Amino acid sequence: MPLLNISPKETTIGFVGTGVMGRSMAGHLQAAGYRIAVYTRTPAKAQSLLDAGAVWKESIADLARDTQVIITMVGYPVDVEEIYLGEGGMLAAAAPGTVFVDMTSSRPDLAQRIESEAKAQGLHALDAPVSGGDIGARDATLSIMVGGEEAIFNQLRPLLEMMGKNVVYQGGAGSGQHTKICNQIAGAASVIGVCESMAYAKKSGLDPETVLQSISSGAAGSWSLTNLAPRVLQDDFAAGFYMKHFVKDLKIAVESAEAIGLNIPGTKLAKELYEKLEADGYGDLGTQALFKYYH
């Protein structure tokens, strides 16, 4: 089935989930001239979009019926499953030809199931998780990892490039989620390194700001060191990416690795450290709050 003509004149984009990242991502599409319809469990989080002309929908089914492209950016795989496949879900309500793009960090097997169910109903589905946190969402510099049918990706690519600058097609359904797992595995080790490095700098009597000047441009340089270490040193633990969502991602990573017969002990360690902090009540802080483990 041919894809609908996607343009600001012809297309209304539905957006489900307007939290720390989703609000900025939807805002870029709105700024490009697209009509935006939104649904979120916390309406106040969508207020800036509504003030700029977005339309509020009372249910995900209403949103699915009235839009041609639907982007979802929610918290957990259980949320993804509910809004796509649950009673009153979007797949059942959408018109043939509707395109779904799940940008939540979720399970590869769920992405494959959603695409299969979508195809059976004359719909299209991509899994397109992102990396870059609140800063990347705000600046439209996200890395977007896409799985699904390549022809659909090619037609949606201009929309994705309004939200990110590194948009890469990875393969069939679930490939975007597998790639995000690779990202989180690498990121987990990086954040541990940043927090332990800054903890060591403080404990050894060095000036951590001066240490950061030296090591951020050397071989140890990384996105985490550049973006998270300064927050750590300013005791800024606000979420650019929630710790509780990172715990979710690391659980998915460990389970997915086990499913393919791969042992990932470093990621398991990171998962244990983050789970301890989440249990201590830090789940709504950012991933850089791992530094609290070393206090």
Catalytic residues: 180
User: Cα dist. 277→145, 191, 230, 237, 254 in Å?
Assistant: 29, 14, 20, 13, 18
C-alpha span between 5 and 11 (Å, rounded): 7
Residue 55 CB burial class (10 angstroms; 0-12, 13-18, ≥19): middle
Residue 205 CB burial class (10 angstroms; 0-12, 13-18, ≥19): exposed
